Amino acid sequence: MALSARRYAQALFLIAEEKGDQDQWLADLEVLASSSRNSDFIAFIDSPKIENVKKIKLIKEAFSKSISDLALNLVSLLATRNSVASLSSIADAYQELVDSEKGVERAEIVSAVKLTDEQEKGIVDKLTQMLEKELSVTTYVDESILGGYLARVGDRLLDGSVKTQLEDMRRELIRGT
């Protein structure tokens, strides 16, 4: 994650703490992050060829009814710096700060196939018990792991993938153990 995105997130977090509106900022950043995934919007708003006045006018027209004035100021500032594309990274960094404040750890679970709700719950329960923390979980599918799952929580990795198990067996066979 870019250092500047983290700095913006930290500044927003401090503002939100001071004003007691963390949830409002989460909602605003979610709206802004989703718009930053629109390539046409980003191409226009981050273009150095477009005058800042036109960018800010478009931002106000597009967002004035859906986000707070401070969030409008943020996206306008980013537009003048041709950095609106970083909104998604800022939103992620802000969410990490809020989660950390609440004692929630972010986890990613990668599986070869889409997990059923029951399977996901089983993995989450196991991780929660191991780490003794509440988790915010995101799941992904990656067919290259063949089967099983990988779970990443912070800098910890729990690798229960079939791919790794097969690679371990291959190494053992080569060593002759």
pLDDT in tens, 8-23: 999 999 999 999 999 9
Q: Are residues 48 and 117 in the same domain?
A: no
Q: Rounded to the nearest 5°, which phi and psi values hold at 13? A: -60, -45
96-129, pLDDT tens digit by residue?
Answer: 899 888 888 888 899 888 989 999 999 889 888 8
Distance CA 7, CA 55 (A): 23
- Do 112 and 140 lie in one domain? The reply is yes
Q: CA torsion sign, 65 to 68 to 73 to 76?
A: negative
- For the chain, how far is it from start to end, CA to CA, in angstroms? 42
Domain co-membership, 22 together with 74: yes
Residue ending a domain, choose from 64, 79, 99: 99
Q: Are residues 59 and 144 in the same domain?
A: no
Q: State residue 177's pLDDT score.
A: 57
State how far the Cα of 170 lies from the Cα of 129, in Å rounded to an integer: 32
Q: In terms of domains, do 165 and 116 share one?
A: yes
CB atoms within 10 A of CB 70: 15
CA distances 172 to 144, 148, 162, 177, Å, are 22, 20, 15, 6
pLDDT in tens, 33-87: 999 889 999 999 999 999 999 999 999 999 989 999 999 999 999 999 999 999 9
Question: Which residue range(s) make up the domain with 59?
Answer: 3-99
- Whether the predicted pLDDT of 174 surpasses 60: yes
Q: What mean pLDDT comes out for the span 120-149? A: 86
Q: Are 109 and 92 in the same domain? A: no
Indicate if 130 and 89 belong to the same structural domain.
no
From residue 71, how far is each of 16, 119, 140, 150, 167 by CA, in Å?
11, 38, 30, 36, 49
Q: Which of 157, 168, 111, 97 is nearest to 130 (CA)?
A: 157
Does the pTM surpass 0.85? The reply is no
Order across the sheet with 149-153: list the strands: 134-141, 104-111, 149-153, 156-159
Rounded to whole angstroms, the Cα distance separating 94 from 26 reads 8
Rounded Cα–Cα distance for residues 87 and 83 (Å): 8
pLDDT computed for residue 106 by the predictor: 85
Question: Same domain, yes or no, for 128 and 155?
Answer: yes
Do 50 and 124 lie in one domain? The reply is no
